[in-house]
Structure formats: structure tokens, C-alpha cells
């Protein structure tokens, strides 16, 4: 049983889920050939696949944006919940991607959906979506909202360096070649049992410069060079391994739960080797995982939402799911949700 304290706040749960994937499929082989065409060095043709375990990823078309994918996923979630857009009074666009710096992408999503909710963006790299769920939960508990729609639309493929000038640039942007595009959405509202029963976070902001997209803010407002993802994947992995496993252990201990108590464990997925290492360090049984990274790549904050949508229909009331979010910055987040 999850350890419960006396809490007068209402229970809040996830009652519907949606996801969206672009139609275009790009293989790792074709992406590697494109990226290495002008670097002046011959690399093994399967280097990207072998290093990451990623075979394919979905890539948004030129006329598809972060908001496009978010709207598609949102419509699925609303339909699954048999809700009208006007039933939503809080809309959070929670994503590492956005349509533009200003205004908030949540307004573009809202204009397309036809909702009239309080709308804003939540941004925390690949943890954005889980952060958005947590924020929506607390606003409902505080009486600031009755029913929330949390959406993400991720288009990190826009930040992939498709034509690096040399091998150094290819290596600097290598982590970006894991990216794929996707959208996800959840409806949150009060429930009579279960719901989100535990949340934990840990932030190590001293590692903020390990990886990211530097352009678009006040430090680098202009210049295409700043719009590409760059980062040290090995350093990021090291921080996640050291800190992330301790947060998971702390969460399980506080809740009084073991792996057998969870129907599924949804982990942000960067590469296959990292996911395997996570399972090794934490002891989570592989069959509890929902593995999407070989076919979809790293879809940033949409990762956990897409996984949840794939298994939502097979879960029964009382099933518990552990979310493990990992985000640049660096932040780690866990959430225990029980289906109502």
C-alpha cells in the first residue's frame, strides 16, 4: 500500500490521454548519411544505430509545429474523456519546444481547440510535461481550476545539425541525432480514489550548461549557429545515473513500494543503452518498461506521455504507474499515479 497521510486536499488523477506522431519516418542510416556527407571522414554506416539503439524517428513536416502536435494529442484526450473544449478551465502547454518566443504557445493551442481556459506555458526541458501535470494537479487542489488539459508538442528535430561543417561539429551535435518529434496530452480532474499519490524532484542546476539549445533567448537572440542542439551526452548520462537512481530509491522507500507494486514504469528515454543502464542500476524489471526509443528516438518531454497513451487502455483501476522524468538543467522527477 502507498503510505498515506491525512490530507484534506482533493485527489487529482489522469482521466484521459492522447498522443500524436508525424507521418514522416527518418531512419538512422539516412540521417547519418545526410549529416556526414560533407565532414570529410568516412564513418561506419551503422554508427548512429549502434551507438544509440535508435532505428527510426518521426519528423514533423515543414507545416507542422509544436502546437500542431499538441492540438492533435489534445483532441484525442478530449474525445477519450467525452469532453467539450469548454469543459477545460486550465490549459498548460508543457514542452521544451515552442512555436515562437512570444506569445506562449498555449494560446496557439487554445485558439485551435476553441477552449477559453486560463492558458500558459511550462518549460523545463524534457521534464516539462511531468512538471505540467504536477502544476495542474496543485492548481486543482488549490481550487484554482476544476479540469485541466496538459499538452506537449515536441519538435527537437528542428535543432538537429543536418549539415555539419566538419567532424568536430558532427561530434558536438551528436546527441541531437537521437531526436524525434511527437505530441502528448492528458486530462486531469478530481477523482474519488487513486490519482497522483506521490511526487518527488531533485535539481542539480550546476550542470545547466552540459547540453541544450542556446539560441532564442537574451544570451543569443540571433544567429543560426545557436539554434542547434549541442551537449555532452556522456556527462549528462553520468549526472542522471548518479542522481536519478537515488531519487527513485527515495520515492520507493517513502511510498513503501517495490517494483512488483507497479503495473508499469515509464522512463524518459534518450537512447537504448541508457535505458538498459537505468534498468540495471535501479533493478526495475524490463517487462515493466514501455520501450519506445528504438522506433521513435528521444521525443523530449513527450516521451512519458506517448508511453502512457500506449498502455492506458490496458490499465485497470488500482494499477499503479511510476513516472521517471529526466531533464536538462539538470532535473529529475518521479510521480506515482494510480488509475481510478
Over residues 40-80, the pLDDT tens digits come to: 777 888 999 999 999 999 999 999 999 999 999 999 999 99
Which of these, 315, 314, 331, 332, lies nearest to 323 by C-alpha position?
A: 332
Strand runs (DSSP E) across 123-273, as ranges? 147-154, 182-190, 195-203, 211-212, 230-231, 264-267
Active-site residue identified among 124, 126, 131, 309: 126
Contact 42, 168 (CB under 8 A): no
Average predicted confidence (pLDDT) for the chain: 91
**pLDDT value at 310 more than 70:** yes
pLDDT at res. 4: 47
pTM here is 0.93
d(CA 231, CA 244): 19
- Digit-coded pLDDT (tens) for 161-218: 888 888 888 888 888 899 999 999 999 999 999 999 999 998 877 767 777 777 677 7
Active-site residue identified among 124, 127, 207, 268: 268
Radius of gyration of the chain (CA): 19
Active-site residue identified among 124, 127, 131, 298: 298
d(CA 290, CA 315): 13
107 is a catalytic site residue: no
124 is a catalytic site residue: no
pLDDT at res. 228: 65
List the grid coordinates of 333. Answer: 522527477
pLDDT at res. 1: 43
Mean pLDDT of 260-274: 95
Please give the angle made by the CA atoms of 318, 255 and 336, to the nearest 5 degrees: 50
Per-residue b or e along 264-302, where b marks 16 or more CB atoms closer than 10 Å to that residue's CB: bbbbbbbbbebbeebbeebebeeebbbebbbebbbbbbb
268 is a catalytic site residue: yes
Amino acid at each position: 500500500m502507498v503510505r498515506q497521510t491525512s490530507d484534506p486536499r482533493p485527489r487529482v488523477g489522469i482521466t484521459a490521454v492522447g498522443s500524436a506522431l508525424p507521418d514522416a519516418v527518418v531512419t538512422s542510416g539516412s540521417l547519418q548519411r545526410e549529416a556526414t556527407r560533407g565532414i570529410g571522414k568516412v564513418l561506419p554506416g551503422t554508427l548512429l544505430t549502434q551507438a544509440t539503439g535508435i532505428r527510426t524517428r518521426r519528423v514533423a513536416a515543414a507545416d507542422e509545429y509544436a502546437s500542431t502536435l499538441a492540438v492533435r494529442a489534445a483532441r484525442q484526450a478530449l474525445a477519450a474523456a467525452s469532453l467539450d473544449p469548454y469543459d477545460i478551465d486550465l490549459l498548460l502547454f508543457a514542452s521544451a519546444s515552442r512555436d515562437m518566443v512570444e506569445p506562449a504557445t498555449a494560446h496557439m493551442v487554445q485558439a485551435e481547440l476553441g477552449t477559453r481556459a486560463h492558458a500558459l506555458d511550462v518549460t523545463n526541458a524534457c521534464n516539462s510535461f511531468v512538471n505540467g501535470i504536477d502544476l495542474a494537479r496543485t492548481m486543482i487542489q488549490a481550487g484554482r481550476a476544476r479540469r485541466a488539459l496538459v499538452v506537449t508538442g515536441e519538435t527537437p528535430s528542428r535543432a538537429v545539425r543536418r549539415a555539419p561543417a566538419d567532424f568536430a561539429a558532427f561530434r558536438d551535435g551528436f546527441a541531437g541525432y537521437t531526436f524525434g518529434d511527437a505530441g502528448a496530452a492528458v486530462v486531469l480532474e478530481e477523482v474519488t480514489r487513486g490519482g497522483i499519490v506521490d511526487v518527488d524532484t531533485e535539481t542539480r542546476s550546476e550542470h545547466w550548461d552540459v547540453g541544450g539549445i542556446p539560441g532564442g533567448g537574451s544570451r543569443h537572440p540571433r544567429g543560426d549557429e545557436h539554434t542547434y542542439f549541442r551537449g555532452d551526452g556522456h556527462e549528462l548520462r553520468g549526472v542522471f545515473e548518479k542522481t536519478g537512481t537515488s531519487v527513485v530509491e527515495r520515492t520507493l522507500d517513502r511510498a513503501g513500494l517495490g517494483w512488483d507494486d507497479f503495473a508499469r514504469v515509464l522512463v524518459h528515454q534518450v537512447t537504448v543503452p541508457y535505458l538498459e543502464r537505468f534498468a540495471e542500476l535501479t533493478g526495475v524489471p524490463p517487462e515493466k518498461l514501455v520501450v519506445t526509443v528504438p522506433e521513435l528516438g528521444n521525443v523530449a518531454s513527450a516521451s512519458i506521455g506517448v508511453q502512457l497513451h500506449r498502455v492506458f487502455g490496458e490499465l485497470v483501476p488500482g494499477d499503479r504507474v511510476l513516472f521517471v522524468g529526466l531533464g536538462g538543467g539538470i532535473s529529475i522527477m518521479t510521480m506515482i499515479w494510480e488509475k481510478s
